[in-house]
Structure 1
Amino acid sequence: MNKTDQLETIRDYVFTLFREDETGHDFFHMRRVARIARRIAEAEQADVFLCEAAAWLHDVGDTKLFPNPNETVEKMNNFLASISLNEDQVHAINHIISGVSFSKGDAIPDTLEGRIVQDADRLDAIGAIGIARTFAYGGANKQLLYHPTNKSNSIQHFYDKLLKLKDLMHTETARALAKERHQYMEAFLKQFYQEW
């Protein structure tokens, strides 16, 4: 099986896992992150196949999304072996995935490919799509839209995470893409408060 076929098979596998997600971590999120990762990998001269494959799979085993994360990752690894990825590739994908999440704190992935996939995931968390995903996730988790004193709300998420992401991008390519998306969020918040 060639790399193109492997990526198509990975895409189909991801579709079965995420097609019904309502939190903003759906199949289309994975597709956007995979496309952005490929674009950054090509610009930054990284391993394009590894970046795209890991980007497709980056939320597999996320504790927010799967009740049995370890079992989910084990099934993913068996699947990857079944489509002829070698042990080094499977290990590299797992290593990339393990370092992507914002909840890991300030830890910077130790490979270029890991930094690229993290950048791609973070880019999909900001801008117009990021705004839409924030409210989808908040709604799915019965979170308030906004409240002036109760900090458990979707608008607070902009300050806790989204507005920080522009300055946390690792690659030049991602930094350039993040600038416009960040400005869009700032304009959205200004308009939101005016209307509120």
Structure 2
Amino acid sequence: MTTTVLAAVRQFSQAKMGDDETGHGFDHIQRVVGLADRLVQAYPQADRVLTLTAAYLHDVIDEKLVTDTVAASDEVRQFLNQQGLTAEQVATVFLIMDNMSYHKTLDGTAKPLPLEGQIVQDADRLDAIGAIGIARAIYFGGHFGEKIYDPAVKPRTAMTHAEYRNLNHETIINHFYEKLLTLKDLMNTTAAKKLAEHRQQVMLDFLAEYKAEWNAEA
């Protein structure tokens, strides 16, 4: 795989994700790619171009973003074949895309990720936390009409996949406790774990300030 292939993958991803209005647009994709490229530098044994290819494509077949995941997968597979990827490389990209999502950890169906996939997963999770993560959580919740906060509604625990996807039972603030604050401890790589420490504190500070202002204490 070459940087020429990577340029085509970037263009394909931008065409698919450029109009997203849920916080998973091409700006998110570019940050994930940038973070993945930063993380992969510490692992010379990882295939950088394959890692970045998966990073560019990781949301293109996401069930929460596309109505027909089978058709979306077929289109991606055809595109990658046209770029000259081997069957093994295409299979690796799909292994990463199909098993890196958080919801896969809820039902225990996630298959082990190769190093390239662990890096992409870390990069995606890093973009879900910190200051960007706060903004994306509010943007996503607002897009789907979620309530911002209700102290009477407690965060859910031990959710199934179906419960996780049921936004009627979630508030934006509770999403931090149900998912975002758990991501720090789910990072795979040492570099990602270090970056997650600061971003975690940014979220904790935000939640403390939000609740203080909510209660007219600040």
TM range (shorter): over 0.9
**What is the aligned partner in structure 1 of residue 52 from structure 2?**
52
**What is the aligned partner in structure 2 of residue 119 from structure 1?**
122
**What is the aligned partner in structure 2 of residue 153 from structure 1?**
171
**CA deviation map 1:26-66 (0-9, x unaligned):** 01111111111111111122211111100110112111000
**Whole-angstrom distance in 2 between the partners of 1:166 and 1:102:** 12
- List gaps (5 residues or longer) in structure 2: 155-169
**CA deviation map 1:148-188 (0-9, x unaligned):** 12352100000000000111101101001111100110111
SS state at 2:145 partner: coil
- Is the 8 Å Cα contact of residues 95 and 113 (structure 2) preserved in structure 1? no
* Count of residue pairs the alignment pairs up: 195
- Is the 8 Å Cα contact of residues 17 and 60 (structure 2) preserved in structure 1? no
**What is the aligned partner in structure 1 of residue 157 from structure 2?**
none
Matches within 5 A, 1:45-84: 45=44, 46-84=46-84
**Whole-angstrom distance in 2 between the partners of 1:33 and 1:110:** 17
**What is the aligned partner in structure 2 of residue 100 from structure 1?**
100
* Structure 1 residue 91 corresponds to structure 2 residue 94: no
Q: What's the offset of the Cα at 1:108?
A: 6.5
**CA deviation map 1:127-150 (0-9, x unaligned):** 001001101110111101111123
- Is the 8 Å Cα contact of residues 119 and 174 (structure 1) preserved in structure 2? yes
- Is the 8 Å Cα contact of residues 123 and 174 (structure 1) preserved in structure 2? yes
SS state at 2:42 partner: helix
The TM-score, its normalising length taken from structure 2, stands at: 0.86
- Which has more radius of gyration? 2
**What is the aligned partner in structure 1 of residue 212 from structure 2?**
194
- Is the 8 Å Cα contact of residues 141 and 147 (structure 2) preserved in structure 1? yes
- Is the 8 Å Cα contact of residues 122 and 188 (structure 2) preserved in structure 1? yes
> Using a 3 Å threshold, how does the CA distance of structure 1 residues 108 and 36 change in structure 2: closer, same or farther?
farther
> Using a 3 Å threshold, how does the CA distance of structure 1 residues 115 and 123 change in structure 2: closer, same or farther?
same
- Of all paired residues, the percent bearing the same amino acid is 44
- Is the 8 Å Cα contact of residues 100 and 109 (structure 1) preserved in structure 2? no
**What is the aligned partner in structure 1 of residue 21 from structure 2?**
22
2:138 aligned to 130, 135, 153, which one?
135
**Whole-angstrom distance in 2 between the partners of 1:110 and 1:145:** 34
SS state at 2:55 partner: helix
The TM-score, its normalising length taken from structure 1, stands at: 0.95
> Using a 3 Å threshold, how does the CA distance of structure 1 residues 85 and 112 change in structure 2: closer, same or farther?
same
- Is the 8 Å Cα contact of residues 44 and 171 (structure 1) preserved in structure 2? no
Letter in 2 for 1:27: F
* Structure 1 residue 167 corresponds to structure 2 residue 179: no
Letter in 1 for 2:144: N
**Whole-angstrom distance in 2 between the partners of 1:6 and 1:27:** 18
